[in-house]
Amino acid sequence: MSANLYQDHLTTRKNQEAQAVQLLVELNTLANKGVNVLFFGNRIALNLVDIIAHHDKNALNIADTLAFATALNDQNLSHTTVDLGQALKAGKQADSFTSGDEVPATDVVLYGFGRIGRILARLLMSRPASDKGLQLKAIVVRPAGEADALLKDLEKRASLLERDSVHGWFDGSVVVDKANSGIIANGRFIKVIYASDPSEIDYTSYGIDNALIIDNTGKWKDEAGLGKHLQSKGAKKVLLTAPASGDIKNIVYNVNDDTIGSDTIVSAASCTTNAITPTLKLLNDKYGIENGHMETIHAFTNDQNLVDNHHKAERRGRAATLNMVMTSTGAAKAVSKAIPELKGKLSGSSVRVPTPNVSLAILNLNFKNPVNSSDELNAFIKEASQSEQWQAQIAYSDSDEAVSTDFVGCEKVAIWDAKSTLAQDNRAVMYLWYDNEMGYSTQVLRVAETMAKNA
């Protein structure tokens, strides 16, 4: 290796870092104006390594992005979304973007603070500080007892947010505010409310009003149960992070979120439904789905037992970390709530496996129109995954070495495994990876933002 080659790469990196520092300033200014900045559908973390990695991956020059972001700030844009990657790729000019309507600040309450609740909190706290959009004001958990027990519980809640065995350390600071019974995460105060039932809570007494309640407990799934939240003073809308029953809409963002309207109770469906529905819509629109079967190889969940013990559901009582557990899933059936023309065409089943996160959906489908080959199908999905419409939901992987842990933390709702695609004539078998925690939670927040805008 020549000394010049090493020095050339080092000099390039130094220049990238210097430009990235300037870009950070421009991006932060845009964020403060309410401009939602994306890079090929991804939110850009405000750190040097992430910015440089995004540019290297997409073979773009940071200097070009810096010039474009500076020009956007000169336009004095506000309350809009700009995908810098797509804009540069398409050769757009900064003056082609216009400001949008002001996004109202919406108080958000996480009712429950389990796996999904904490991931939602992490995602919200990873955004630049802003008094616009979704504002996480409180979490609601079960009563913990007397004063000493409450303090200990508060510390444990903060610790679980800060440390995660799957997703690692929280990206930022988490501080316990003992005096005010809350948690300060990245400079945002989150009140911890202890209650056994929504009817006990007066949110307005905590300075919270017209709030969107995100119920991630799974305790209530029908209108009668979820309606309890709307009886709380200061609550306005409810979003369930599980499939709902009855007439409550099950929403998969970018597929049927246009049907939310003024509904006060909405479901964000399940992680598996969100993982397969966008791809199923693409496939149905292109080839027409006659029928098929969906199998999910799913990470174990808190609903299962750690060791063999009694469980009301069949097989789920057996040790989750030792067994592959066959069980049921309503994901295939739930797809029809988002894509009505697929009603009755899909069956589904599930196998829970001894991994804590990242699952795999296998689609075995028969089409009306011929697919011809795996290469044709892969090319179609790859193009869709790079489009502005689908880039935020669908990722594309063609690696021979891809395994489940590669996708921990992926905010895309599904990752198409091109190396596993099997297609011939009118039939195909396709594999979709998905982080059933992070990818799903990202979709939940998109539905929440839509509900807030429809207030």
Asked, for residue 142, whether it belongs to a domain, the answer is yes
Asked, for residue 257, whether it belongs to a domain, the answer is no
62: burial class by Cβ within 10 Å (0-12, 13-18, 19+)?
A: buried
Out of 124, 271, 299, 346, pick the active-site residue.
271
Asked, for residue 157, whether it belongs to a domain, the answer is yes
- Which of 96, 121, 148 is the endpoint of a domain? 96
Domain residues for 196? Answer: 105-242
How far lies 436's CA from each of 128, 244, 405, in Å?
Answer: 25, 18, 12
271 is catalytic: yes
**Beta-bridge mates of residue 299:** 353
Which pTM was predicted? 0.93
> Do residue 59 and residue 119 come from a single domain?
no
The backbone torsions φ and ψ at residue 310, rounded to the nearest 5 degrees and listed phi first, read -65, 140
> Do residue 13 and residue 146 come from a single domain?
no
User: Is the sign of the CA dihedral 259, 261, 267, 272 positive or negative?
Assistant: positive
21-61 residue pLDDT tens: 999 999 989 988 888 899 999 887 778 888 999 899 899 99
Asked, for residue 454, whether it belongs to a domain, the answer is no
364: burial class by Cβ within 10 Å (0-12, 13-18, 19+)?
A: middle
Domain count, the chain: 3
240-264 residue pLDDT tens: 999 998 899 999 999 999 999 999 9
pLDDT value of position 1: 55
pLDDT value of position 3: 66
416-435 residue pLDDT tens: 999 999 999 999 999 999 99
CATH number, position 420:
3.30.360.10
